[in-house]
Structure 1
Amino acid sequence: MDGKCLRGAVRADGSRAFVMTAVRHGDALTAALREIGAKTNEILEFAPLLDAADDTDLADAVVTVDALHAQKEHARYLVEDRGAHYLLSVKNNQPTLAGQLRALPWKDVPVLDRSRDRGHGREEGPRGEGLQRRRTAVPPRPPGRADPPETTPYRNEEMADRDLYAVTDLSAHQANAAEIAAWARGHWIIENTVHWTKDVTLAEDASRVRRHRTPAVMSALRDLARGALHRAGWANIASGRRAHTQPEAILALHGIPGLQS
């Protein structure tokens, strides 16, 4: 889950339109999208966004969100209300929790997973410079933690960059370090695939549509178009878009499993 500013949709009072989106890790399809009102914020729209996706069963799903949503109430909502699991990034917007995580005896915690991949989906340099190397450590859950839901700390050490911290309710027998690291990396699909495609291919940030709820409606329609082309087998959405400029080609997408007229 992540929020996005629709940069071209500047209202008469100078405020910008924002939407919040829930995206599936495996295929980058949008499960839910919700406008963030001018008098509210992402934190308050977290549960309503997932409540609106009432056809999405979150039981046993792992929900990844950025540091803004490292909130106790969000964790409780996911675990107790929806039967899901969470992986919450932690940064200095939660200074107490971030300090506790940094202070853990990481020197004594063995590295359980190592990975090497392209930073944020991009590779630089002729010999692969820019590839990110990561080492993942997950210490044992502290005993006697009474404040539900219980959390397990997680550290993702990016060798040339910085240490990233997160917490999850999953215990060691439910998820190993490699799985946790993969989910943490997979969270970037919402930026690198979804938001990037909407901005670069579908020109979302360039859109000046701004009246009423129209910016959010148009953002949802871009997600629908992106998802339809993806389900039709187009790995390159720009190519798929060019191939569907005629009405008869667009109507042919009706037969894609999961799409309705």
Structure 2
Amino acid sequence: MNGLSLLDHISIIKDPRQQWKIEHKLTDIIFLSIVAVIGGADGWEEIQDFGEDHLDWLKQYGDFESGIPVHDTIARVMGMISAKQMQKCFALWMDDCHQATDGDVIAIDGKTLRGTYDKGRRQGAIHMVSAFSAANQVVIGQVKTSEKSNEITAIPELLKLLDIHGCLVTIDAMGCQRDIAKTIVDKGADYLLAVKGNQKHLEKAFNDYFRMEMLQNFEGSSYSTQEEGHGRKETRVALVNEDLSVLGDIAYDWSELKVMGIVASIRQVGDIPTEDISIRYYISSKKLDAKTLLESSRSHWSIEVQLHWKLDVGMNEDACRIRRDEAGENFAAIRHIALNLLNADKSFKAGLKRKRTRAGRNNNYLSGVLMGQGAS
């Protein structure tokens, strides 16, 4: 950690424009885009409108000597900025203001930006893969792929950006790959990977090992919880086996593999006997007990509610059609920056939409939001 603010990190991004044509500073354009999104803007024209309404306030943070750029200029510049530089800037900023501790769960998962699908040009929708700190509810990094199947290649690129030493990285079955597991271990972290059919031999070994009666009688580490509400009862059972001999030679294919885990979810409505039983398999390089396995696997899915749902409902991400050049990926990074800052603010206890509305009309509140996570 070096104490640099978000503005300091933004200033490192290289300006791709010809110097003699520059009228508006790059840092001003990026900063304007970030605070406008915090204040409720979801597109280039709204960013311009926000800037014109808040010009005097903006001059506290940047030059803005030539006023506010028009929306076409903002869109063109954001499309020219290197997305890799923006990703690195974002990750370094989060590394500077977010201190991970041993055992923190870092959930990695992908999300398709549905509005970016372009049927006319036969271009698929942008797919972003993000790393999310479950405990702190902040995005710590993201990269773009052209489609969901490319998560396998995107995840190692994302891991290169992150400081995850001592953390437990959780990934769904798409990321259950030997190279990804090794990359995580080489970064000084541990992995918890879901196992499905893309690893046929590993899944078969689990299927051969697991029996339903283990949920009632298991010699290894076991843990269960039960929740009731709305006429439903859900029981979760976690089992951890440290005897990897049941995997045979497969166990040696996975870097530092320590345990195999099983999580069962049993849902019952009323007093009717249920057949709704979900069984999930996991492998981990960390010597987890069953309680930690259950908690960590549930923490992984927090990325759906605390990140993906908020991006859709609170920030209208799926409705956004920005995708030209590098703009779609850069705008996704800006949304993540805005989301992190809004989540960090505890002065106004409200949902994301209300926070954005208040930030758009109250400069004092917006200034307070920027103070979070070392933004200003």
Task: Give the TM-score category using the shorter length.
Answer: 0.7 to 0.9
Match of 2:137? Answer: 28
CA-based RMSD of the aligned residues comes to: 2.2
When the two structures are superposed, what TM-score results if normalisation uses the length of structure 2? 0.61
Task: Name which of 159, 173, 186 aligns with 1:67.
Answer: 173
Q: What SS class does the counterpart of residue 113 from structure 1 fall into?
A: strand
Q: Higher helix share goes to which structure?
A: 2
SS of residue in 2 equivalent to 1:59 = coil
The alpha carbon displacement at 1:40 in A equals 7.8
What are the residue-to-residue correspondences of 1:1-261 with 2, within 5 Å? 1-11=108-118, 12-37=121-146, 41-53=150-162, 56=163, 58-79=164-185, 81-106=186-211, 107=214, 109-110=218-219, 112-117=222-227, 125=230, 127=231, 129=232, 131-143=233-245, 145-147=251-253, 148-160=255-267, 161-171=277-287, 175-233=288-346, 234=349, 236-246=351-361, 248=363, 249-256=365-372, 258-261=373-376
Q: Report how far residue 38 of structure 1 moved.
A: 6.2
Kept in 2: contact 1:7–1:205 (CA 8 A): yes
The answer to whether the 8 A contact 1:59-1:84 is kept is yes
Give the conservation status (yes or no) of the 8 Å contact 1:7–1:17: yes
Unaligned stretches of 5+ residues in structure 2: 1-107, 268-276
Deviations 1:149-178 (A, max 9, x none): 22411000111331111111122xxx3110
Larger Rg, first or second structure (1 or 2): 2
2 CA distance for matches of 1:74 and 1:168?
A: 12
Write out per-residue CA displacement over residues 191-239 of structure 1, whole angstroms, 9 at most, x where no aligned residue. 1110000011111001111211212222211211111111111462222
Higher relative contact order (CA 8 A, sep 6+): 2
**Secondary structure at 1:245 match in 2:** helix
Deviation for aligned residue 1:247: 6.0
Structure 1 residue 132 displacement after superposition = 2.7
CA contact (8 A) 1:109 1:138 kept: no
Tell me the CA shift for residue 141 of structure 1: 2.5
TM-aligned CA deviation for residue 33 of structure 1: 1.0
Larger deviation, residues 32-41 vs 18-27 = 32-41
Letter in 2 for 1:138: V
Q: Distance in 2 between matches of 1:244 and 1:46?
A: 34
Aligned length: 245
Contact 1:115–1:134, Cα closer than 8 Å, also in 2: yes
Q: Which amino acid aligns with 2:260?
A: P
Q: Distance in 2 between matches of 1:82 and 1:42?
A: 19
1:113, 1:136 within 8 Å by CA — same for their partners in 2?
Answer: yes
Contact 2:311 2:317 in 1 (8 A): yes
Which runs of 5 or more residues in structure 1 are unaligned?
none
Give the Å deviation of 1:37.
4.0
Does the 8 Å contact 2:206/2:281 carry over to 1?
Answer: yes
Are residues 10 and 146 of structure 1, via their aligned partners in 2, closer, same or farther at CA, if it must alter by over 3 Å? closer
% identity of equivalent residues: 24
Distance 2:244 2:126 in 1: 42
- Cα deviation, 1:68-109, whole Å, max 9, x if unaligned, reads 011011111111x20110100011122211111111154363
